[in-house]
Structure 1
Amino acid sequence: MQYVAIVTILLIIQYMAYMMFCGFARGKDTVVAPATSGDERFEKAFRVQMNTLEQLMVTLPSMWICAYFFSPLWAAGLGVVFMVGRLLYRQAYMKDPATRGTGMMIGFVANIGLIVLSLWGAIGQI
């Protein structure tokens, strides 16, 4: 389970970095809070941050359920795959949002894997 804990912390660090990038992109007086629009670079960073947050709501509980009922190594491995997908997603989105598909799909497939293995493992315990 320590691998799942390590991946969880790494995912939290990745998300915190995306929060910081979003804050930096807001810039001094460029996009004044509470506004969330007005500067393209900020809007991209904001969408990366929010999309990652939305996905983490699926990833983190699924990863821990998968670890408990199926396999900690599979859970941690799929968590790493998700994290790499999110990194590729961010890099693509910041350059051109239309190219974000590969990173998004990597993370999405990792989440599907976590959900399926979680359910399989839990049902197998009945």
Structure 2
Amino acid sequence: MYHFTALVTLAAVLFYFFTSTRVARARVAYGVKLPAISGNPDFERVFRVQMNTVEWLPIFLPSLWLFAIYINDQVAAAIGLVWISGRIYYMIGYSQATARRGPGFLIQAAACAALLFGALGAIVWRLVHG
């Protein structure tokens, strides 16, 4: 069973839900009416955090699960928590200023790369070595 990976998956989904609610609140706070997605730089940064998160989830989630299946549940979950931490750091930095998004982005990208290439390596290893 992959209990730790399942918990991290739910945490990632909850983080995405949180970013979605921030966008809804920012629409009201900054007067950005649907269907607009621009017009106020403060709103646009909140919106981009949510959209960047949704752009990364299809890379992160399969990589997380394949790593858990082919390598280890607990290690996958630990790296997944680093990814979520990076996303939070990205959100905090980006909310303050566009230029402050970089460190959080690099943390989450590195965690995702570890999951992706770790899983890929393990799958190829098993194919080659049986």
- Aligned partners of 2:4 and 2:73 also within 8 Å: yes
Identity of aligned residues (%): 34
How far off is 1:29 after superposition? 8.2
Structure 2 stretches lacking a partner, 5+ long: none
Matches within 5 A, 1:1-126: 1-27=2-28, 30-126=31-127
Residues 16 and 47 of structure 1, relative CA distance in 2, 3 Å threshold: same
Give, in whole Å, the separation in 2 of the partners of 1:83 and 1:73.
15
AA in 1 matched with 2:70: F
* TM-score, structure 1 normalization: 0.96
- Aligned partners of 1:63 and 1:76 also within 8 Å: yes
How many residue pairs get aligned? The number is 126
- Aligned partners of 2:30 and 2:43 also within 8 Å: no
Give, in whole Å, the separation in 1 of the partners of 2:23 and 2:62.
25
- Aligned partners of 2:70 and 2:122 also within 8 Å: yes
State which drifts further: 75-84 or 22-31: 22-31
How far off is 1:39 after superposition? 1.7
AA in 1 matched with 2:61: L
State which drifts further: 72-81 or 29-38: 29-38
Give, in whole Å, the separation in 2 of the partners of 1:99 and 1:61.
28
* TM-score, structure 2 normalization: 0.93
SS in 1 for 2:83: helix
Give, in whole Å, the separation in 2 of the partners of 1:21 and 1:32.
14
- Residues 66-118 of structure 1: per-residue CA shift (max 9 Å, x gap): 11111111211111000000000000000011011110000000011001110
**Large movers: runs of 4+ above 6 Å:** none
How far off is 1:124 after superposition? 2.3
- Aligned partners of 1:70 and 1:120 also within 8 Å: no
AA in 2 matched with 1:49: Q
- Aligned partners of 1:70 and 1:122 also within 8 Å: no
